Structure 1
Amino acid sequence: MILQEVEALKQRVRDKFANLSSEAIKAITDQFDKQYIFESTSFDNGDFSFEDVCFLLEDHSRQFPDKSENVRKAIINNYHAIQMVHRLVADQVQLNETIVKDLHQQLLEGMMPGGVYRTRDLFILGAKHVPPTYLKIYQKMSQFYADLNDPELKGLKKAAFAHLQILKIYPFMDANGRLARLLLNYQLELEGFLPVSVSKGQRDEYFRTIDEYKINKTIKPFTEFLARLEKERIEKFLKESN
């Protein structure tokens, strides 16, 4: 099965990292981060290109005269958020409420208040699943953090759960998708995997497998989708680092 195949590939990643210089690791990480920021941020606003992201990340003071200021801020904020993920994982800090709120606040820095659970109900246009009432957010999130500490939950399944459950609860007013993708990579890195990104061509399957979890309460479709993403990422990493 692909889950076992990816678990086996994880050791090759560790071995490869052990033999790479810090400069090589930084170059690979930086290139991935740019792709991730482009693909994750464009879920909410696709009015920019990968080249725009690279241009802006070279100098955060640069402007996009033909684009909304919030587009520029969203890109920069996502950059700082993924750097925060890398730093915390390097220190082996486990996911907790403070980190989740801090990451959310970083995603919305200078745009709107972040890091505060929503205080009204949400109805998402076209969605097949209705998020829980805001009155249950603290209860749902408390259970979420408790479930993350379950020793039986590990590997790709734990990363999948962190991502899916945030999208099911929808704890914040905005940026839940960007936050969920950050938490997915946070948990992947903690588990010894490489972070992943969802391309535009993979979005249909991405949303379909998320709905399977929200509606039918099955984590398997998304976990298998994640395993394929991880396998592709590892194989690309091994090829580029030769």
Structure 2
Amino acid sequence: MKKLLRTVDVLKNELSSLKPLNETEIKRLRDEFAIEITYNSNAIEGNSLTLRETALILQEGITISQKPLREHLDIIGFKDAFDFIMDCAERERELTEGLIKEIHALVLMNDARNRGVFRRVPVHIISSTHKPSQPYLIEPYMEKLILNYSEWLKKLPTIEAIARFHLEFESIHPFIDGNGRTGRLILNLELVKHGYLPVDIKVTDAARYYMCFDDYRVNDLNPEMMTELIAEYEMSQLEKHIAIVKAAQEYENEYEGEYPKYDIEEER
């Protein structure tokens, strides 16, 4: 895992050394990424809307027939929350209980009573043997988690510290609903704040993703499996982005601001 983390940091440094894309190019890539992460993060939680339907909702404002209104609101709420955390990352907002509740309030836009509010009832996750924290323990556990996280950032590789926070956050399960989506948004907020790219955990990787939580609990709270998953996604994102930036630079160098001249007859 150490080798993987070193590779990620080498790629991160390489990207920062390249001439950045312009604002329009960055916005286009971010908008495309936002659609994909909105689709995947909601699909992991059982949302039935497809990637194409997600794009239509977000780009065209179209309502998909025979699909629940709640699923539409989940898509819109997550996209709003993603835009919000990217803005928070740019302003380097400190991770606090209040900020976490703000993110959750956007994610759970379809539930006015519970958005941005810690749950008041015990819950049981049917797909897991883990029992989330009792309601009266949520606030002190969250306070302790945020304090612990600041220490982990000092002692551990950044991605490992972020992975551990994510594992602990989901174990506490502080909200009545929307914990997974909120947790993955916080994960990305912290990655971007520390100079990394946001990652999109695919619904096709859901089984592996959930296995990370089980592995953490049975292996003495070792976050290695989740760290590796995040690092692999980060490496892929960095490699993809570096290739895009280099291609844009090569294009600019080749044509030096002029439009390329094509032989129309030859194209035909």
Pick closer, same or farther for the CA change 1:38–1:53 going to 2, 3 Å: same
- Unpaired segments of 5 or more residues in structure 2? 248-268
Amino acid at match of 1:155: T
Q: Choose which of 198, 201, 223 in structure 1 pairs with 2:201.
A: 198
Equivalent pairs: percent with the same residue? Answer: 24
Do structure 1's residue 219 and structure 2's residue 223 form an aligned pair?
yes
Do structure 1's residue 51 and structure 2's residue 55 form an aligned pair?
no
Q: What's the RMSD between the two structures over aligned residues? A: 1.4
Matches within 5 A, 1:1-242: 1-16=3-18, 18-60=19-61, 62-112=62-112, 113-150=114-151, 151-216=154-219, 217-241=221-245, 242=247
Pick closer, same or farther for the CA change 1:115–1:93 going to 2, 3 Å: same
Partners of 1:229 and 1:179 lie apart in 2 by: 18
Q: Is the 8 A contact 1:120 1:133 kept in 2?
A: yes
Partners of 2:177 and 2:38 lie apart in 1 by: 17
Larger C-alpha radius of gyration, 1 or 2? Answer: 2
TM-score by length of 1: 0.94
Q: Is the 8 A contact 2:47 2:71 kept in 1?
A: no
Q: Is the 8 A contact 1:101 1:116 kept in 2?
A: yes
Task: State the 1:153 CA deviation.
Answer: 4.3
Task: State the 1:221 CA deviation.
Answer: 1.2
How many residue pairs were aligned?
240
Partners of 1:204 and 1:233 lie apart in 2 by: 21
Pick closer, same or farther for the CA change 1:204–1:45 going to 2, 3 Å: closer
Q: Is the 8 A contact 1:162 1:180 kept in 2?
A: no
- Unpaired segments of 5 or more residues in structure 1? none
Residue deviations 1:76-120 (CA, integer Å, cap 9, x gap): 000000000010110111211111000001111133421111111
